[in-house]
Amino acid sequence: MKNITVLIPCYNEEKGISDVIKGIPHKKLEAFGYKAEVIVIDNNSNDKTVKKAASKGVKIITEKKQGKGHAVITGFKSLPKNTDIVIILDGDNTYLSREMLRMIEPLDSKFCDVVIGTRLGGKVKGGSMPTMNRWGNWFFTFIVRTAYKTSVTDVCTGYFAFNKNVADFLAENLESKGFSLEMEMVTKMARMNYEIYSVPITYQERRFSESKLRPFKDGINILKVWAKDLRWKPNKSRKVKKV
Ligand SMILES: Nc1nc2c(ncn2[C@@H]2O[C@H](COP(=O)(O)OP(=O)(O)OP(=O)(O)O)[C@@H](O)[C@H]2O)c(=O)[nH]1
Ligand SMILES: [Mg+2]
C-alpha cells in the first residue's frame, strides 16, 4: 500500500470544503493500492470551515500567517514520515477530488516526478474562469514554457501531485506568501530539472464563497516571481533524486 497525503489549504471555505473531502475516492484509491490521509490547513477562517472539516474526521493544521503560500509550505513541512505521494487541492470545490486517481498514475508508472492538473488542457466549465483570468493563465503558462523549457500546460492550477522527495525539496525552498506559490513551485521545480507533466482535469464554477484572488495585484506578484526565479540556482550540494 502506498500512502498519499492530500493537503487542502483553506480560508473561509465552509461552503466547499465538505464536498472536496467527501469526493476523495478512498475506495477506488484502495483498489489501486493507495491509502489517502487528508490534512486541511486553515488560515484564521472566521466561518465554519474548521468545524465542517473536523466533522469529516480529517486532520486540521492551523497556520497563523495569512496566505495560501504560507499554508501550503506549512503543509509540506508537516507531512507524515510514511508519505509517498503528496496532492495539493483547493478547498473551494472548483477542482474535483474524484479525479485524483488520474493525477497519480503518471507518478506510479514513473513517467514523471510531478503532475499538474491542467484546466487549460482540460474542461473549463461555464463561468469558472473569467476572460481576464484565462488570458492571464495562458500568458503565464507561455512565459514559463519558453523561459524555463518545461512542457507544463497550466502554471496557475490548484491541483498538483508530487513524489514525496519533490515535496521535501519544496518545503525547504519555497518563500511565497500568497498566490505566487504555484509559479514559484513550477519555476523552481523546472530549475531542478524535475520532470513535470500535465493531465486534463475539470475546473468548475465557484458556487458560493468569495474568490480571494486579486487578479491585478496577484498577477504582478506572479510575474515578479517568474522573473526572480530565472536567476535562482539550486544548492549544488543537494543531491536530487528523480524518477
Ligand atoms: N490557508 C489559506 N488558504 C487560502 C488563503 N487564500 C486562499 N486560500 C485557499 O486557496 C485556494 C485558492 O483560493 P481561491 O480564492 O479559490 O483562488 P483561485 O482559485 O486562484 O481563484 P478563483 O478562480 O476565483 O477560485 C482556496 O482553497 C482558498 O481557500 C489563505 O490566506 N490561507
Ligand atoms: Mg478557486
Per-residue pLDDT tens for 170-227? 999 999 999 999 999 999 999 999 999 999 999 999 887 778 889 889 999 999 999 9
At 176, list the grid cell: 511565497
pLDDT at 215: 86
Distance CA 68, CA 13 (A): 13
With a 6 Å cutoff on the Cβ, whether 13 touches ligand 1 is: yes
Q: Which ligand is nearest to the CA of 211?
A: 1
Which single residue is written with the C-alpha cell 492538473?
A: 117
With a 6 Å cutoff on the Cβ, whether 90 touches ligand 1 is: yes
CA 118 / ligand 2 centre spacing (Å): 14
With a 6 Å cutoff on the Cβ, whether 99 touches ligand 1 is: no
Domain ranges of the chain: 2-229
Helical H segments across the chain, by residue range: 17-22, 26-31, 49-55, 68-77, 100-108, 131-148, 164-173, 181-191, 215-229
Q: Which ligand is nearest to the CA of 12?
A: 1
Instruction: State which ligand 1 atom lies nearest to the alpha carbon of 71.
Output: 1
Q: Which ligand is nearest to the CA of 15?
A: 1
CA 191 / ligand 1 centre spacing (Å): 26
| Helix (H), strand (E) at residue 4 | strand 2-10
- Which band of pLDDT confidence, cut at 50, 70 and 90, is reported for residue 236? low
What is the Cα 66 distance to its own chain's centre?
A: 17
CA 61 / ligand 1 centre spacing (Å): 16
CA 241 / ligand 1 centre spacing (Å): 31
Instruction: State which ligand 1 atom lies nearest to the alpha carbon of 12.
Output: 29
Overall CATH class of domain 2-229: alpha beta
Distance CA 58, CA 52 (A): 10
With a 6 Å cutoff on the Cβ, whether 11 touches ligand 1 is: yes
Mean pLDDT throughout 78-102?
97
With a 6 Å cutoff on the Cβ, whether 193 touches ligand 1 is: no
Per-residue pLDDT tens for 58-70? 999 999 999 999 9
Q: Which ligand is nearest to the CA of 128?
A: 1
With a 6 Å cutoff on the Cβ, whether 177 touches ligand 1 is: no
Record the pTM. 0.95
Mean pLDDT throughout 99-106?
97
Mean pLDDT throughout 26-39?
98
- Which band of pLDDT confidence, cut at 50, 70 and 90, is reported for residue 24? very high
